[in-house]
Amino acid sequence: MAAPLPLAPSVPAGPSTARRAVLTRRIRWFVAATITYNVIEAIVAITAGTIASSTALIGFGLDSVVEVSSAAAVAWQFTGPDHERRERTALRVIAVSFFALSAYVSVESVRALAAGDRPEHSTVGLVLAAVSLAIMPLLSTAQRRAGRELGSASAVADSKQTLLCTYLSAVLLVGLAVNSLFGWWWADPAAALVIAAVAVKEGRDAWRGDTCCSPTSTGPADPGASGCADGCCAPGQAAR
């Protein structure tokens, strides 16, 4: 008897055309919400940072500007019907945004540590950091789920940019609080250096397209779906 032929590896089917349209609209909404919030965040943070002479707050505000550029790249990608063709360009813009953020945070952190800058107490900064810490994880998770199901590496990469803002919000909140309570001015720039290292990694992954975005099996395969099955999301796990 002939040996049975080995089974071909199963390839997860991408979302149906109708589902892709829904996911695309959803991502557009998330991107618009991210841009709107970050514009407000940048204005408040830079203003409060200037008043309190806080390098951390000003840096946080400039990070918001970087995030707007990242979200704008995804918005540009999804404005046309052939958004899959714009994927690589959007990823490169996101990657450069990560690298710019890392460079700025690194330089400003080292400068603050060397100069011994001691920012004043900022109630506005503390409130802003706390609000961002609550809002950004929700936006990041929702966009990441939609991006993975759609198979959009740029949407997933942008969700990581938003998640990085969560980390920066936590660093800012702890740094401002510790400085206000104990006078430990060095805590914020020291922790920000760790965030800078994370930004380099995320930027490198975005540049290479190494984002976890394998499309989930939600319907018949769409011949026009490009996806990016990088192997890090098994079917059924991609929407997590």
Of the two residues 64 and 161, the one the predictor is more confident about is 64
The backbone torsions φ and ψ at residue 2, rounded to the nearest 5 degrees and listed phi first, read -70, 145
CA distance 24 to 118: 45
Q: What percent of the chain has pLDDT over 90?
A: 7
How high is the mean pLDDT of the chain? 75
For 51-73, what is the mean pLDDT? Answer: 81
What tokens appear for 5 in the block?
């032929």
pLDDT for res 210: 59
Evaluate if residue 2 carries a pLDDT over 80.
Answer: no
Q: How many CB atoms lie within 10 A of CB 123?
A: 11
Evaluate if residue 218 carries a pLDDT over 70.
Answer: no
Q: pLDDT by residue (tens digit) across 114-131?
A: 887 777 888 999 999 999
0.75 exceeded by the pTM? no
CA distance 202 to 31: 19
pLDDT for res 127: 94
For 185-206, what is the mean pLDDT? Answer: 80
Which of 50-64, 104-118, 201-215, 218-232 shows the lowest mean pLDDT across its residues? Answer: 218-232
Q: What percent of the chain has pLDDT over 70?
A: 78
pLDDT for res 13: 54
Among 229, 219, 221, 71, which residue's Cα sits nearest to residue 237?
229
What tokens appear for 140 in the block?
């990041």
Query: Which CATH class name applies to 17-208?
Result: mainly alpha
pLDDT for res 155: 75
